[in-house]
Chain A
Amino acid sequence: MGTVISLALPAGAARDGGDVLDGATAAVERVFAGLDATFSLYRPDSEASRMARGEGTLRDASAAFRGRFADATGWRLLTDGFFTPERPDGVLDLSGIIKGYAIDQAASALKCAGIEDWCLNAGGDVLVSGSPAPGAGSRWLAGIVDPQDRGSLLSGFSLGGAGRFSALATSGTAERGNHIWRAGTDRAGGGRAGLGPPDFRQVSVAAADILTADVLATAVVAGGRRMLDRATDSWDVEVLAVRGNGELLATQGFRA
């Protein structure tokens, strides 16, 4: 997937001879490596690359590929088309949903291994479970990068514990975001012409699950203010959006 995965466990977890840490790392690696082999567009031999080259149709695709395609098209409906698994040139690209799905699957693997307290970060998208200090019951604290100065933090958000939110995803035009396409500006003859320049440089969404957080962050970057209002009206989420000029829009949960 061309990204870096960081797994944090409470300090006590490593004291048991490192077994817990090694087991947790191996479980996460297996999930990401397995999905990468099928879905990476950076691997010419992956199923996703073959599909992108037009070698085969969805009817011939694996159950896993069709499953993620179904997930992505479901989200396209829910986001009024602002999240879409198709690039402007019509090529199928599931990258926008695979990272969130991989994080979700890694979470299942960690839970199956009996590991309850962890914080998993894949390329800036975060999912947590339990607490960084299980005895004290404190919550994981995630910092949000300032897109105007990537060496400093714009904000912070507490995740896990007794709170409603375990996931925080950030999308933006600042770094890569190559699975985000601005509707109307990129689609020749598309139905959403005249949207103008992108509203948001960076959008962070906190949600109960990582797929919702990740998909909605991507959709709001693509869809601007209209999709932002749709997201906060339709889902139980908190959003922090940074406009192109640096101004902030935030829901209540991001106010100090």
Chain B
Amino acid sequence: MVQTRFGAVQVQITVKAGAITDVTALQLTDDVRKSVQISNRAAPLLRAAVIKAQSAHVQTISGATVTSGAYLSSLQAALDAANL
């Protein structure tokens, strides 16, 4: 029994004369949703296919570290000003 981030995995091995002759999966994760999505590696994506957001509809902006100086011209500053 091995714990993985997708849940517990249990396999049974058969050993004959010191060699593994068979491996049987007794339990492959206890979470159906996650076991279906076993790999979540990032793959190439066209810009048109990414989730879109309009700046008028967001409540906050995530971006690489904004310094106090750069904040003044940032989207977050515009957003904060609009909600004052």
Please report A residues at the B interface, Cβ cutoff 8 Å: 2-4, 6, 8, 119, 121, 123-126, 128, 132, 140-145, 147, 150-157, 168-177, 202, 204, 228-229, 232-241, 246-252, 254-256
Residue B46 is within 8 A (CB to CB) of chain A in the complex: yes
Question: Would you call A119 and B59 a contact (CB within 8 A)?
Answer: yes
Question: Would you call B75 and A143 a contact (CB within 8 A)?
Answer: yes
Q: Which residues of the partner chain A approach B49 to less than 8 Å between Cβ atoms?
A: 255-256
The secondary structure that dominates the A interface is strand
* Set A121, A150, A238: member contacting B60, Cβ < 8 A: A121
Given A235-B5, A250-B45, verify A153-B58 contact (CB < 8 Å): yes
Q: How far is the CB of A32 from chain B (nearest CB, A)?
A: 13
Question: Would you call A256 and B60 a contact (CB within 8 A)?
Answer: no
Residue B16 is within 8 A (CB to CB) of chain A in the complex: no
Residue B74 is within 8 A (CB to CB) of chain A in the complex: yes
Given A156-B51, A234-B5, verify A126-B42 contact (CB < 8 Å): no
Given A155-B52, A256-B51, verify A233-B41 contact (CB < 8 Å): yes
Q: Which residue of B lies closest to A156 (CB)?
A: B53
Question: Would you call B66 and A143 a contact (CB within 8 A)?
Answer: no
Question: Would you call A144 and B62 a contact (CB within 8 A)?
Answer: yes
Q: Which residue of B lies closest to A239 (CB)?
A: B42
Residues of B in contact (CB 8 Å), total: 39
Question: Would you call B60 and A252 a contact (CB within 8 A)?
Answer: no
Further 11 A-B residue pairs, CB within 8 A, beyond A3-B71, A123-B65, A177-B65: A3-B65, A4-B76, A124-B66, A143-B62, A144-B53, A152-B55, A157-B53, A169-B62, A248-B50, A249-B44, A255-B49
Most buried by A among B47, B60, B65: B65
With the chains together, A175 CA to B79 CA distance in Å? 19
With the chains together, A251 CA to B37 CA distance in Å? 11
Interface positions of B from 8 to 39, Cβ below 8 Å from A: 37, 39
Q: Which residue of B lies closest to A8 (CB)?
A: B59
6 contacts between A and B (CB under 8 A): A143-B62, A171-B64, A202-B63, A229-B42, A249-B43, A251-B42
Question: Would you call B64 and A126 a contact (CB within 8 A)?
Answer: no
Given A155-B52, A241-B42, verify A175-B64 contact (CB < 8 Å): yes
With the chains together, A233 CA to B83 CA distance in Å? 39
With the chains together, A224 CA to B70 CA distance in Å? 26
Q: Which residue of B lies closest to A248 (CB)?
A: B45
Given A8-B60, A153-B55, A252-B37, verify A171-B65 contact (CB < 8 Å): yes
Q: Which residues of the partner chain B approach A229 to less than 8 Å between Cβ atoms?
A: 41-42
Given A6-B76, A150-B74, verify A123-B66 contact (CB < 8 Å): yes
With the chains together, A128 CA to B60 CA distance in Å? 10
Residue B3 is within 8 A (CB to CB) of chain A in the complex: no
With the chains together, A128 CA to B68 CA distance in Å? 22
Q: Which residues of the partner chain A approach B74 to less than 8 Å between Cβ atoms?
A: 145, 150
Q: How far is the CB of A210 from chain B (nearest CB, A)?
A: 11
Q: Which residue of B lies closest to A231 (CB)?
A: B42
